[in-house]
Amino acid sequence: MSASTNKHKLVAIANPSSRHAESYRTLRANIQFASRDRKLKVVLVTSSKPGEGKTTTAGNLAVLYAQLGKKTLLIDANLRKPDLHRYFNVANRFGLTNVLSEEAILEHAVTANVYPNLTLMTSGSPTAFPSEMLASERFAQLMATLRELYDIIIVDAPSSLGTADSQQIATMCDGSVLVVRRGASRRGEAHEAVAKLDHVHAGVIGVVLNR
């Protein structure tokens, strides 16, 4: 899929007055409403399985927070099948994995102003040990540092079923959003995904019904 095709999925940029962009604004508003009861500074976006629209949701949500003037960070934590660098048409030479493996410093692993007020941290170089990296103390330390630098952090995580990656990332986040695709997600799979997040006290904010 071409970079231009992926970029069109960012309707908050390409077509901000569309009903699709307005749906993402509603999601942003609902998360802000949930923040009244608990602080939601780091929000994880996941799905039960691939192809349900979690990356598109994460990207648009990050753009919309940036449009509020929030200093926003979008992290591609899908180390197995990253895609956000294509959405914003940036290189993925350095990113999250490079910081965690101490091959790069934080400043070299982020791309500032991919959109006004929005910084992107891509997944970085491929790794044979994604779960181990995401479960490391260095990842926990990195997330603690990033909390101090940004107003809001959106994390695009892998799908919840099949690997433990999302659960590991969720323990570093304040709340989780599960994306399910109409006509593609089975009820049992969605329930299982929620149960896995609940098991690590991930604080599931709600479910986004896509398509």
What does the pLDDT read at residue 192? 74
Residue 51, Cβ neighbours under 10 Å: how many?
12
Q: Which of the four pLDDT bands, split at 50, 70 and 90, describes residue 166?
A: confident
Question: What is the mean predicted confidence (pLDDT) over 90-99?
Answer: 96
Return the H-helix or E-strand segment holding 159: none
Q: Is 69 left (phi over 0), alpha (psi -120 to 50) or beta?
A: left
Compute φ and ψ for 143, nearest 5 degrees. Answer: -65, -35
| CA atoms of 199 and 86, how far apart (whole Å) | 32
Looking at the predicted structure, is the pLDDT value of residue 34 above 90? Answer: no
pLDDT digits (tens, 9 = 90+) for 42-79: 999 998 877 878 999 999 999 999 999 999 999 999 99
What does the pLDDT read at residue 182? 73
Q: Where are the domains of the chain?
A: 3-210
Mean pLDDT, the chain, integer = 88
Question: What is the mean predicted confidence (pLDDT) over 127-133?
Answer: 93
Q: Is 71 left (phi over 0), alpha (psi -120 to 50) or beta?
A: beta
The arrangement of secondary structure in 3-210, i.e. its CATH architecture, is 3-Layer(aba) Sandwich (3.40)
Strands 152-156, 72-76: parallel, antiparallel or unpaired by DSSP?
parallel
